Amino acid sequence: MGFFDDLAMGFGAKEKTKDFEARTARTMAKTNPQGAEQYRASRGVTNADINTNFSPSTYQGGGFFGGYTSGADLIDGGGPGRSGARFSSADTGAFAGDPGTYVSEQMYLDAEKNQPEAFAQTQGGIASLSNLAGFRPYGSYDQERGLGAKGINIGTSGIGDYFAGQGAIGNFIRGGVPSSKQRVEPNVPIGNSLDPAAVQFLNEQAGEVPSLMERLRLTPEFANPNPTMIFNSDDSDNSLTPAPPQIEEIIAEQTQPTRGQTFIAPLRRNLEGIVSLGRR
């Protein structure tokens, strides 16, 4: 068995062998002895199978569907019997501990770095496609938030982010700010800790986002953006209030005749001019 065979078995493109499962358990034991023992027991392998037993794996899982306990267990990430920050197609007990636990984003990151073979075994099929498309499991945001400072601000990406943010129209309506479906905390950068104090500070710094009506200048304050302020003597709080617009009275100035001139109204003068032209 070579590297590419192991890679294919890890991602589910090729049927796993007893040798592969035994070697995987040996790697797990370096960082998670308890998880390695659980893995060996569930697969029915020992160190004696390494490089000697190339028969197909007999692990079939069980329960609702491929080891999943219910329909909800299929969409909440973490693999069969668990929930998690990512989707997994197989048991994540090698790096996640006992069944029923939440597989956090930090657990996945540590497994990718320290237990690549164990991590590869949990990927494949629809789970891998969902992760690559940028979707996040149902309930994972609340679970990460519940971890406090140990939680990581996860979010969607790629096409998953497009759907979660309702496309370009949704982004325009929100003024470019991510929604609560795109991140655990919209005002916190992706990958940052969800320490409550830091989250509160960033939320206060962000302030309120202007509504769509405000950005389109359709709210009442834009009807008269520069109102004249007058002192309102009727109010006990001596506050300043906008003055109502005043209607200006336009009075036409009449030209007074000077000495030696006869004043003729403009209209009359025009009419006499027309009559005199007719007489000619």
Task: Examine residue 89 and state whether it is found in any structural domain, yes or no.
Answer: yes
Domain stop point among 125, 153, 169: 125
Strands annotated E in 31-111: 83-84, 102-103
Whole-structure pTM over 0.85, yes or no?
A: no
Domain stop point among 86, 107, 125: 125
Report the pLDDT value the prediction gives residue 269, as an integer from 0 to 100. Answer: 47
CA 200 to chain centre: 18
Is the domain of 113 the same as that of 169?
Answer: no
Report the pLDDT value the prediction gives residue 60, as an integer from 0 to 100. Answer: 59
Is the domain of 35 the same as that of 120?
Answer: yes
Task: Examine residue 108 and state whether it is found in any structural domain, yes or no.
Answer: yes
Is the domain of 56 the same as that of 89?
Answer: yes
Cα distance between residue 41 and residue 35, in whole Å: 10
Which helix H or strand E contains 37, and what residues bound it? Answer: helix 33-43
Task: Examine residue 248 and state whether it is found in any structural domain, yes or no.
Answer: no
Task: Examine residue 65 and state whether it is found in any structural domain, yes or no.
Answer: yes
Report the pLDDT value the prediction gives residue 39, as an integer from 0 to 100. Answer: 80
Question: How far lies 28's CA from each of 14, 54, 115, 187, in Å?
Answer: 21, 20, 7, 37
Residues of the chain with pLDDT under 50: 62-64, 250, 252, 260-280
Is the domain of 57 the same as that of 102?
Answer: yes
Torsion 144-145-147-151 (CA) sign: positive
Question: How far lies 225's CA from each of 12, 222, 232, 247, in Å?
Answer: 64, 5, 20, 19
Report the pLDDT value the prediction gives residue 16, as an integer from 0 to 100. Answer: 84
Helices (H) and strands (E) in the chain, counts: 14, 4
Cα distance between residue 157 and residue 191, in whole Å: 12
Q: Which domain holds residue 78?
A: 3-125
Domain stop point among 208, 230, 246: 208
Cα distance between residue 95 and residue 114, in whole Å: 10
Task: Examine residue 242 and state whether it is found in any structural domain, yes or no.
Answer: no
Task: Examine residue 264 and state whether it is found in any structural domain, yes or no.
Answer: no
Is the domain of 14 the same as that of 90?
Answer: yes
Is the domain of 105 the same as that of 178?
Answer: no
Report the pLDDT value the prediction gives residue 276, as an integer from 0 to 100. Answer: 46
